[in-house]
Amino acid sequence: MGPGEKAKAPPKLALPMPSAWPTASLLMSPDVVTTTEDAPISQAIGLMRSRSIHELPVLRRRKYLGLITFETIARRANLPLSTKVGHLLILPPVVTPSTGYADLAEQLLASGLRAAPVADDKGRLVGIVSRTDLIREFPRLGAVGSARVETIQSPAAIVVQETDRCATLFAQIRAIEDHPLPVVDRRGRLVGAVGIADLGRVLWRPVTSGKKDARAGR
> Is 159 in a helix, a strand, or coil?
coil
**Which sequence spans correspond to the domains of the chain?**
24-146, 154-203
> What φ, ψ does residue 118 adopt, rounded to 5°?
-115, 125
* Whole-structure pTM value: 0.62
Q: For residues 20-47, give the mean pLDDT.
A: 92
Cα 1 from chain centre: 10
pLDDT digits (tens, 9 = 90+) for 94-147: 899 999 988 898 888 888 888 999 999 999 999 999 988 988 887 777 655 566
Closest CA to 52 of 187, 168, 196: 196
C-alpha pair distances (Å), 218 with each of 72, 82, 100, 213, 215: 19, 15, 46, 8, 6
Question: Is the CATH number of domain 24-146 3.10.580.10?
Answer: yes
Give the CA angle between residues 80, 204, 113 to the nearest 5°.
90
At residue 138, the pLDDT reads 75
Residue type, 190: L
* Arithmetic mean of pLDDT over the chain: 75
Q: Could you tell me which CATH class the domain 154-203 is placed in?
A: alpha beta
